[in-house]
């Protein structure tokens, strides 16, 4: 009898372990409802259609083309029954009136109602708030005010009130201290949020006067900002690991006028352009490629033209996906699907690692 009970107990624990779902794979997507068919979305848990914007106080579909695109993306749920489709507000440069609109009770209420209506009308599954950024400066010239922090909290409360039970509510978070400390009331917001998408990319931005790893996994002596730094900062201030989503970049950043010192890493430079992963080979002629074993990040330098390149590749994406599993995070997300190859791209590496198929 004792052995039978022990066997049942072991079987129970093994069953529980096997039933634990893998971390989520979340894809931001800026394309249309036709192009989405060219990607294999097996293993993708969420597609976040980017972006919708404010029209007056309300979340709005900008035009007929966007409406058709969203409908086409939602159609993917027939092919991938476990897929969820979210809409996203804002983006970099896409939230010009957010601070003003959300500074009134009427504005927050109108937005919450209109969001719930769009989710229901389009058979979507939720919204991701990408306001860059509440209470601190973001896109040049956009209004921000200290009250944004509390207004964001109330906005989330109202969204939960009007959205259906089971609808997903998430937001994109800047990967730096100023955002962590000033933009969000984490204790009040996180109980109402399904997950926070940590933008652990653009950590060296287009405004930076020095090169570095724009999406490094770990900090180095020369660069504090990293994915791991952001995750640990959020955990330190009470954000549960199971609600944190780590970010990966399906694009790189090129800097010019970079001296041939340390292969261009941590040198003065000026942002020149971005390159999507699907175009890496054709746009990186003349570069020599390197690996930072501390940051767990690739980089490249073109000494003839004094160009520095920082990016994610298959190795770094695999390590980020592994990190997500080892640290019990909610998932991994990336910006954005249109930058990936249609086959044998970074998404496939991510999905394989998350599901233990490497």
Residue 56 has what DSSP assignment?
T
pLDDT tens, 300-312? Answer: 999 999 999 999 9
Mean pLDDT for the stretch of residues 254-272: 98
pLDDT tens, 60-70? Answer: 999 999 999 99
- What is the rounded average pLDDT for all residues in the chain? 95
- Residue 6, pLDDT > 90, answer no
Instruction: Give 187-233 as a DSSP string.
Output: HHHGGG-SEEEEE-S-SS-TT-SB---TT-SS--SS----HHHHHHH
Q: CB 143: neighbour CB atoms within 10 A?
A: 14
- Residue 5, pLDDT > 60, answer no
- Residue 9, pLDDT > 50, answer no
Tell me the pTM. Answer: 0.95
| Sheet with 307-310, edge to edge strand ranges | 270-276, 251-256, 307-310, 297-302, 288-292
Mean pLDDT for the stretch of residues 271-290: 97
Write out the two tokens for 352. 């394989």
Do residues 76 and 36 lie in contact, with contact meaning Cβ atoms separated by under 8 Å?
A: yes
The strand pair at 244-249 and 307-310 is best described as unpaired
* Structure confidence at residue 124 (pLDDT): 98
Write out the two tokens for 61. 């579909």
Q: Which of 271, 300, 348 is nearest to 41 (CA)?
A: 348
Distances (CA, A) of 38 to 140, 282, 337, 340: 35, 21, 11, 11
Strand, helix or coil at 299? strand
* Structure confidence at residue 353 (pLDDT): 98
For the chain, first and last CA: distance in Å? 42
Mean pLDDT for the stretch of residues 305-321: 98
- Residue 8, pLDDT > 80, answer no
* Structure confidence at residue 350 (pLDDT): 98
Of the two residues 182 and 9, the one the predictor is more confident about is 182
Mean pLDDT for the stretch of residues 6-10: 47
* Structure confidence at residue 245 (pLDDT): 99
Residue 127 has what DSSP assignment?
E
pLDDT over 70 for what percent of the chain?
A: 94
Rounded to whole angstroms, how far apart are CA atoms 124 and 94?
A: 21
pLDDT tens, 72-113? Answer: 999 999 999 999 999 999 999 999 999 999 999 999 999 999
């Amino acid at each position: 009898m004792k052995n039978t009970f022990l066997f049942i107990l072991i079987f129970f624990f093994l069953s529980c372990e096997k039933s634990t779902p893998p971390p989520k794979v979340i894809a931001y997507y800026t394309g249309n409802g036709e192009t989405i068919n060219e990607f294999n979305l097996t293993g993708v848990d969420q597609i976040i259609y980017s972006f919708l914007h404010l029209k007056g106080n309300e979340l709005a579909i900008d035009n007929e083309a966007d409406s058709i695109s969203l409908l086409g993306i939602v159609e993917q749920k027939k092919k991938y029954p476990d897929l969820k489709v979210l809409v996203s507000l804002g983006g970099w440069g896409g939230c010009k009136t957010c601070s003003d609109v959300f500074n009134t009770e009427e504005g927050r209420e109108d937005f919450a109602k209109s969001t719930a209506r769009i989710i229901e009308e389009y058979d979507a599954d939720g919204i991701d708030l990408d306001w860059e950024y509440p209470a601190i400066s973001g896109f040049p010239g956009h209004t921000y005010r200290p009250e944004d922090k509390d207004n964001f909290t109330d906005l989330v409360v109202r969204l939960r009130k009007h959205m259906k039970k089971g609808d997903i509510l998430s937001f994109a978070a800047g990967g730096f201290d100023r955002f962590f400390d000033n933009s969000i009331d984490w204790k009040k917001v996180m109980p109402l949020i399904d997950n926070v998408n940590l933008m652990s990319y653009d950590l060296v931005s287009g405004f930076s006067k020095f090169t570095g790893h724009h999406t490094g996994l770990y900090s180095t002596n020369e660069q504090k900002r990293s994915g791991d730094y952001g995750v640990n900062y959020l955990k330190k201030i009470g954000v549960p690991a199971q609600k944190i989503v780590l970010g990966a970049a399906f694009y790189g950043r090129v800097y010019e006028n970079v001296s041939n010192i340390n292969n261009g890493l941590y040198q003065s430079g000026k942002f020149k352009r971005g390159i999507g992963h699907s175009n890496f080979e054709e746009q990186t002629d003349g570069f020599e490629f390197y690996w930072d074993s501390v940051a767990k990040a690739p980089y490249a330098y073109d000494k003839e033209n004094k160009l520095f390149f920082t990016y994610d590749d298959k190795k770094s994406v695999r390590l980020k996906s592994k990190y997500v599993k080892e640290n019990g995070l909610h998932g991994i997300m990336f910006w954005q699907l249109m930058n990936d190859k249609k086959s044998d791209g970074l998404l496939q590496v991510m999905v394989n690692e998350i599901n233990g198929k490497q």
